[in-house]
Chain A
Amino acid sequence: MSQLPVRMIPRLDVKNNTVVKGIHLEGLRVVGNPVELAVKYYQEGADEILYMDAVASLYERNSLLPIVKDTAKSVFIPMTVGGGVRTLDDIRNLLNAGADKVAINTAAIKRPEFIREASHKYGSQCIVLSIEAKKLGSKWEAYMDTGREATGVDVLEWAEKAVSLGAGEILITSIDHEGMKKGFDIDLIQEISKRVEVPLIACGGAGNSQHVIEAIQSGHADAVACASLFHYNLEHLSDVKNKLHQAEIPVRLLGRAA
Chain B
Amino acid sequence: MSEIAIIDYGLGNLYSIYKAFAYQEIPARLTDQPKSLKEASAIVLPGVGAFEDGMKGLNDRGFTEEVIRFAATGKPVLGICLGMQMLMDESLEMGQHKGLGLIPGRVIPFENNKEKPIKIPHMGWNEVKGFTTSPEMYYFVHSYYVQPKNQDHVVGVTEYGSYQFCSIVQKDNILGFQFHPEKSANAGLALLKDFSKKTQEGL
A: residues with CB less than 8 A from B are 1-2, 4-5, 7, 42, 47, 69, 72-74, 76-78, 95-100, 123-125, 168-169, 197-199, 222, 252, 256-257
Contact = CB atoms under 8 A, between A and B. Distances in A.
B74 interface: no
A5 B184 contact: no
Interface residues of B, number: 37
Contact of A199 (B15, B123, B183, B187): B123
Given A42-B185, A96-B15, A100-B183, A252 B137 contact: yes
A168 B142 CA distance: 12
Contact of A76 (B124, B132, B159, B184): B184
Interface stretch (B18-26, B37-45, B61-69, B144-152): B18-26
A257 B135 contact: yes
Given A5-B137, A98-B13, A257-B136, A125 B183 contact: no
A78 B22 CA distance: 18
Contacts of A98: 13, 15-16, 19
B183 A197 contact: no
15 contacts: A1-B127, A4-B122, A4-B124, A4-B160, A5-B126, A69-B15, A73-B22, A76-B20, A76-B182, A76-B183, A98-B13, A98-B19, A125-B121, A252-B137, A257-B132
Nearest to A94: B13
B108 interface: no
Contact of B19 (A7, A42, A72, A168): A72
Contacts of A100: 13, 141, 183
Nearest to B129: A1
A257 B15 contact: no
B125 A76 contact: no
Given A78-B183, A98-B16, A1 B132 contact: no
B154 interface: no
B35 interface: no
Interface string B111-147: 0000010010111111100001011110101000000
B185 A2 contact: no
B202 interface: no
A7 B141 CA distance: 14
A47 B125 contact: yes
A256 B187 CA distance: 11
B188 interface: yes
A1 B126 contact: yes
Contacts of B184: 76-77
